[in-house]
Amino acid sequence: MPHIETPEGIRIRYDARGPEDGRPLVLAHGFSVSLEMWMPQMQDLSQEHRLITWDARGHGGSSAPDDLDSYTMPALASDLRALLESLDAVDGAIIGGMSFGGQIAQQYAVDHPEGIHALILSDTNTRGPEAPDQSRSGMAADFAGDPGLEGCMHAMRTRPDLTPQLATLEIPTLVLVGEHDEMILPTLDRLIDALPRRRVARLAGCYHGTSGQRPAAWNEAVLNFLEDVAEEEPLGEDEVI
């Protein structure tokens, strides 16, 4: 599978499929998995879009530096920027991600809002003004000795609060969440309320990981949203699907 190297020397593995002249649709995976998590989306989403999936640093076939301090959410967003620049896919891109990948997508949108066509934020939230609950970080012991996963946990725990910056974005955004996702739902309103232009799709019967649990419904929600954005239709009311 192909890869690029960022100016900082980070190897990023990626997959690109679909029409070369299609609008770039970029998806970032969740924590501890890889771009292969998007296999249920690849056929549907690459019919009309140039679908780009990628391994974040510390995951899959991408570099995993030993220096844990090199793992920050801005650094991960910078890796994504370098990938899109290498693929000539910056302008007009749709930027998306799931959970950890959704945090990268938010950071990218704040750091590089120009030229983004739309955002897709699945199973994710914004940090808020207080530091994340450190009691959840006990799971870090499970990844001791794995610099990539330890580093990305560090990036999540130390990520900046982007809530005020998200409120300044005029990027149409689709927020997807499972109706039983106890990891995300308690703070989801903070993300929803921050976004000036958004549609929320709640997937019935789903927990964390909606794109894998109900891929057909997830794909349809994304494609319907992107069609409405392309036709400059109102984003409409929130929906349960």
CATH number at residue 23: 3.40.50.1820
The 10 Å Cβ neighbour count of residue 101 is 31
pLDDT at 136 over 70: no
Q: Is residue 146 part of a domain?
A: yes
pLDDT at 125 over 50: yes
DSSP state of 28: E
pLDDT at 140 over 70: no
Tally of structural domains, the chain: 1
Q: Is residue 208 part of a domain?
A: no
The parent domain of residue 35 ranges over 3-195+214-240
Closest C-alpha to 65, from 136, 1, 12: 12
Q: Is residue 69 part of a domain?
A: yes
Q: Is residue 205 part of a domain?
A: no
Q: What is the pLDDT of residue 2?
A: 97
pLDDT at 230 over 50: yes
Q: Strand, coil or helix: what is 114? A: coil
Structure confidence by residue, pLDDT tens digits, 183-195: 999 999 999 999 9
Q: Is residue 75 part of a domain?
A: yes
Across residues 37-58, what is the average pLDDT?
98
Strand order in the sheet with 173-178: 3-5, 11-17, 49-54, 23-28, 94-98, 118-122, 173-178, 198-203, 239-240
Q: What is the pLDDT of residue 137?
A: 47
Q: Which token pair is 118? A: 């739309």
Structure confidence by residue, pLDDT tens digits, 63-110: 999 999 999 999 999 999 999 999 999 999 999 999 999 999 999 999
* Least confident span in 72-81, 128-137, 167-176, 228-237: 128-137
Kindly give the pairing relationship between strand 23-28 and strand 11-17: unpaired
**Calpha distance 187→95 (Å, rounded):** 22
Closest C-alpha to 27, from 12, 42, 9: 42
Q: Is residue 57 part of a domain?
A: yes
Question: What residue spans of the chain are helical by DSSP H?
Answer: 39-45, 73-86, 100-111, 147-157, 163-166, 185-194, 210-213, 215-230
Q: What is the pLDDT of residue 132?
A: 64
Structure confidence by residue, pLDDT tens digits, 155-165: 999 999 999 99
Q: What is the pLDDT of residue 236?
A: 81
pLDDT at 33 over 90: yes
Q: Is residue 201 part of a domain?
A: no
**Burial environment of residue 32 by CB neighbours within 10 A (0 to 12, 13 to 18, 19 or more):** middle
Q: pTM for the complete prediction?
A: 0.95
Kindly give the pairing relationship between strand 11-17 and strand 49-54: antiparallel
Q: Is residue 206 part of a domain?
A: no
> Percent of the chain at pLDDT above 70?
95
pLDDT at 198 over 70: yes
122 near 184, Cβ under 8 Å? no
Q: What is the pLDDT of residue 129?
A: 83
pLDDT at 128 over 70: yes
